[in-house]
Structure 1
C-alpha cells in the first residue's frame, strides 16, 4: 500500500475506540448499579493523529503498508483507577474477556521506566464489524491511577516541547515528581477503605435524594401542591446534613402520599 486513503484507513480505529469506551464504561456502570465499588473510575479514548502516525512510522522505519501491523497504538484507550490495587483488578477483567484478544502486556507499574513513568499497557487485537466484513485492528489499553495519569500528561507535553530531549535538570525534577505522585498513591491506598465508604455513602444518599425529588414531582403533578412544598422544604433541610435514615423516612412518606392520592 504505497498510498493510504487516511479517512477510510482510520474508520475501523474510530469505531473500535467508541465501542471500547462504551464497553469499559458499562463495566463501571454495572458495578455502580449493584452498589459495588468499581475499579474503573473513568475511561477516555482517542485515535492517533495522522501526523503522529507518520512521525512514528518514520522514527521506527515502518513502511506505509506495515503501519496497521506494527503501530499498535493508533487506537488508544485509557482506563483510570483511584488506587494502585485497582489496576490489577482491571487487568484481570480484560484478561477474562472473550471479545478481545491480548497480544502482549507491559507492566510499567511493577517495572517502572527510568523516567518515572508508571502504567500498565495491554495491546489487544480487536474485531470491528465493518460494512464489508470483520476487520481485526490493534489497540492499546493503558490502565493507570489518576496521579500516574497527571504525571504522564505532563511528561508527554514536555517531550513534545523538547522533541524527546528533555534537559537533564527538568528530567531530574520530573523523576522526583513521579516518585511524589506514587507516594500519593500509596497514601491514598492506606485510607482506601475510608474513601470507598465515603463514596458509597454519597452514592446511596444521591440515589435516595433523586427518588424523593421524583416523588415530589409526581405529588405536584397530581395537584397536591401544599404537600409537595412541605416535602421540598424537608428535603432542602436534609440534603446538606441529613442522615440516611432521615432521608429514607422522607422517601417512605412521599411514597405513601402518592399511594393515597393515586
Structure 2
C-alpha cells in the first residue's frame, strides 16, 4: 500500500471514529434535554422537583479499549457498539427513593426511548451494599446521512447512595481493588446506615407533605366559609366569584 493510500485510510478511520463518538455525545445531549424538560415541568406543576442534579460522562477511547480487552470483544465499531453498552452514561441524583421510581416512570413514558434493560439494585442491592437503579435505553440520533439508535446507561440514585458509591470507588481505587476485610465490612455498615437515612428522610418528606396538604385544605375551608352564631356556612362558589369580580372592579 502506497503512502497516499495509507494517509487516506487513516483519514477514513479517524472520520469514522469521530462520528462514532459524536453519536454518543449527541445521545447524551438528547437525554439531558429530556430530563431537564421533565424537571422544569414537574417543578412548575408541583412546586417541587424529584431531580436534584445530573452528571454525564463519555468513556475515553482508552477506557473503551480496556473494556474491549476485558470482554474479549471484537475491534470493529459495530462490535464495540453491540457489546459495550456504557460508553455514554448519565447519573441522575434524587432526594428521595420514591423520586427514583418517579423519574424511572417518566422516562419509560417517553415514546422515542427504547428501554433495553432495567437493573434495580435498590430492591436487590449488591452484596457490598451498592444501591442504585440502572436503565439501559436506546436514543434515536439523527446524523446528516442516517439515523442511529444509540445506547445510554442511566443511573438513578439518592444523594446518600451517590455519596456512598463515590466513597466506595475512591477506597477501591486507593487499594487497587484489594480492600482489607474490615474496611469491606465498614463499607457494608455505611451502606446500611445510608439506607436507613434515606428511609427516615422519606418518612419525614411524606409527613411534611401531608401537613402541607391539610393546611391547604384548611385555608380553603376558612376562605370558603363564614361563621355565624358558632355555626359554619359554606359560601357558594358563584358568590365568591362575584366578590372577586367586584374587588377587581374597584382596583
Q: Indicate whether 1:25 and 2:36 are aligned.
A: yes
Which of 51, 74, 97 is the aligned partner of 2:62? 51
Let me know the Cα RMSD of the aligned residues.
2.4
Look up the match of 1:102.
115
The structure number with the bigger radius of gyration is: 2
Verify: 1:156 aligned to 2:177, yes or no: no
State whether structure 2 residue 204 is matched by structure 1 residue 191: yes
What residue number does 2:22 align with? Answer: 11
Unmatched 5+ stretches in structure 2:
1-11, 214-250
Residue number among 105, 127, 134 corresponding to 1:114 in the alignment: 127
CA distance in structure 1 between the aligned counterparts of 2:200 and 2:102, rounded to whole angstroms: 19
- 2:110 is paired with a residue of what secondary structure? coil
Aligned counterpart, 2:226: none
In the TM superposition, residue 171 of structure 1 has moved relative to its aligned partner by 1.5
Partner-residue secondary structure (3-state), 1:104: strand
Give deviations 1:62-98, integer Å, cap 9, x for gaps: 1222111111111101111111111111111121111
Cα distance in 2 for residues equivalent to 1:110 and 1:163? 29
Q: Is 1:140 matched up with 2:153?
A: yes
What's the counterpart of residue 62 of structure 1? 73
Deviation at residue 4 of structure 1 after TM alignment? 6.0
Give the alignment partner of residue 169 of structure 1, picking from 179, 182, 191.
182
Change (3 A) 1:17 1:191: same
Structure 1, 93-102 or 154-163: larger mean CA deviation: 154-163
In 1, Cα distance between equivalents of 2:92 and 2:43: 16
In the TM superposition, structure 1's runs of 4+ consecutive aligned residues that sit over 4 Å from their partners are 194-200
Q: Output the TM-score relative to the length of structure 2.
A: 0.73
Distance across 2 between alignment mates of 1:137 and 1:123: 10
* Mapped partners of 2:174, 2:69: distance in 1: 19
TM-score, structure 1 normalization: 0.70
